[in-house]
Amino acid sequence: MNKQESEILKNILQIRAVKKITQRELGEKLGITESAYNRIESGKISLSYCHLSNIASALNMSVIELLAYPETYVSSKSSNSTKVLVELDVSNDEFIKMGLKDKVIQVLNK
């Protein structure tokens, strides 16, 4: 597990704690067992973009909010919101490997 992945997993753990969601509950939302989710969160299973996207969705967040937590995180209970521009500093290879290229193209084609 690389440093970037460990930081993302740390964000997921903190968000899950703030939202008072157990590993079992999040696993159920993802359609996997608690132990399978535990292996993802502990870094024993590599965090793919698919996992990241599904976890963000289960936490009612965007992937960007999850990656940048806590800087851009806005509680869904909040009636006020702020638009925040986030710059993600990754290499072209990482950008493609994470599946972000395809997601950006999908958004731009809408």
Determine the structural domain holding residue 85 and report its residue range.
3-108
Residue type, 68: A
Query: Closest by alpha carbon to 9, among 94, 77, 78, 67?
Result: 67
Place of tokens 């965090």: 47
Q: Residue 37 is part of a domain; what is its CATH number?
A: 1.10.260.40
**Predicted local distance difference test score (pLDDT) of residue 79:** 55
pLDDT per residue as tens digits for the range 50-85: 899 999 999 999 898 888 887 754 555 555 666 666
Query: How many whole angstroms from its chain centre is CA 83?
Result: 19
Report field, pTM of the whole predicted structure over 0.85: no
Q: What is the pLDDT of residues 4-28, one digit of tens each?
A: 888 999 999 999 999 999 999 999 9
Q: What is the tens place of the pLDDT at every residue in 76-95?
A: 555 566 666 666 677 777 77
Sign of the torsion angle spanned by Cα atoms 29, 32, 35, 37: negative
Per the structure, how many domains does the chain have? 1
